[in-house]
Structure 1
């Protein structure tokens, strides 16, 4: 976007960068098969603007999201731009409570993937039966299903059940993750999704072999040794954006 257009729209360079990053993320999710018609949500705080965050326009598929059509709202759900699209009440209710109360919840992702919903719908939830699941054992919160998330009072229970965790399985509902950056939230979602997919595959074959608490602890301790510079998830997310660009670059507009 040209500087003149930025000035005309009143969008700062920092906000435009955030818009492009979030729009790219929606396209990455769609490429990975994590779209759910026009539903589900990824939100991102606007840098330098207390309480303002970006959310997808309700009515558009993830593949249609662009930097320019993201909706900017405040913590109370008021639009802060002239975007003609509405905001999904379920998305606002769920995400706003975390953005309001958790200073480190810069980006929040919620999906209804088949694997995420399936594992969240069985007794015991995620089990320590595979590499990726071990990332989350002891680090994953659970929240019982209360119906579509449109009532503000449910937010209190969401915060209580999340506690000091930053990944949650919403029982009978799906995946919820958050991060200090969008790439960090992305890699959490990717790993939790993979953990759920592999658990489903394993359970279909018979009784799974569960990994001991001692080995899980060693695994979590040593994960940092296989990270690369740039912060959690950055290289992974950048690689996915390059793949998206080979398909369609319209998210940049």
Structure 2
């Protein structure tokens, strides 16, 4: 039950359980839902499962991969939970973290300092509202980068499988074209062109994934060490540079955060 506008941590944890993948028991990543029993799974988990089994892991109904559809509601719930948790003190679920403890490198609430006596002798700074809004925005952008990396990794895996299938088909074709040299030449050239195209795309995905991994590692470190609004603004600028299509949308958001007269 929501009290004073605060959602109890127990209810958040309970909600998190509802969107767990029944296969890996983690929060569903790129969620899919069975059209027969509505069970939630990760896209990668069910893809691996269906390659070996042809039944739903929950209801055992005969299925194929298309029987597990994208569940946008689950993705929205996951995003909601992440935002809510960022506004809840891990030690006092009814309190909002308003202080950054430089000694422990974590966000704490006043109860942690006053009631529990923790962090009293530590170095800490108060968090202003603009800082809180920008850090929430940065976490959302970081999540976007993680999803983009995951999507590119999935695309790379699909491309590698397609490449292997192409090579297998190519070998089969070679075995049948010894007596038809002209046809063989056409097939070889077409296969080579397609293979070269796949290799170029594969290298593109590899390069993009490496860049995203470097960005994510850099941003995660900066977020863990940030202590003030300017740090978060710098992080936001870095993120926007690497997500061009999101720049206009989030620049409008920042204009709302900026004090009048800036």
Normalised by the size of structure 1, how large is the TM-score? 0.25
Greater RCO, 1 or 2 (C-alpha within 8 Å, sep 6+): 1
Higher helix share: 2
